[in-house]
Amino acid sequence: MISKVLIIANGTKAESLLLADEIISFLDENGIGSYLVSTRSCSERLSVPLSTDLVITLGGDGTVLYAARAVHDLGIPILPVNLGTFGYITEVGKSEWKETLTAYMANGENISRRLMLRIAVLRSGKKVWQASALNEAVISSSGIAKVISLELSLDNTMLGNFRADGMIIATPTGSTGYSLAAGGPVIDSEMSAVIITPVCPFTLSNRPLVTSGKVVSLTVPPGQRTDLVLTADGQLDFPLEEGDRVTVEKSRSRVLLVRSLKRNFTEVIRDKLHWSGAMHA
Torsion sign (Cα): 127, 129, 130, 135: negative
Q: How confident is the model at residue 133 (pLDDT cuts 50, 70, 90)?
A: very high
Catalytic residues: 61
Sign (positive/negative) of CA torsion 64, 229, 180, 134? negative
**Is 278 contained in some domain?**
no
- Is 104 in the same domain as 198? no
User: Tell me: the pLDDT tens digits for 69-97?
Assistant: 999 999 999 999 998 765 678 888 889 99
Distance CA 274, CA 34 (A): 38
Q: Does some domain include residue 150?
A: yes
**Residue-range definition of the domain harbouring residue 72:** 4-110+259-272
Measured between alpha carbons, how far is residue 9 from residues 25, 112, 203 in Å? 15, 21, 44
Q: What is the pLDDT of residues 138-163, one digit of tens each?
A: 999 997 778 999 999 999 899 999 99
Same domain, 32 and 146: no
Do 66 and 176 reside in the same domain of the chain? no
Q: What is the CATH number of the domain that holds 87?
A: 3.40.50.10330
Residue 132 and residue 102 share a domain = no
pLDDT band at 43 (very low <50, low <70, confident <90, very high): confident
The percent of residues in the chain predicted with pLDDT above 90, rounded, is 73
The helix or strand, by DSSP H or E, that contains position 177, with its residue range, turns out to be none
Q: Write down the pTM of the prediction.
A: 0.91
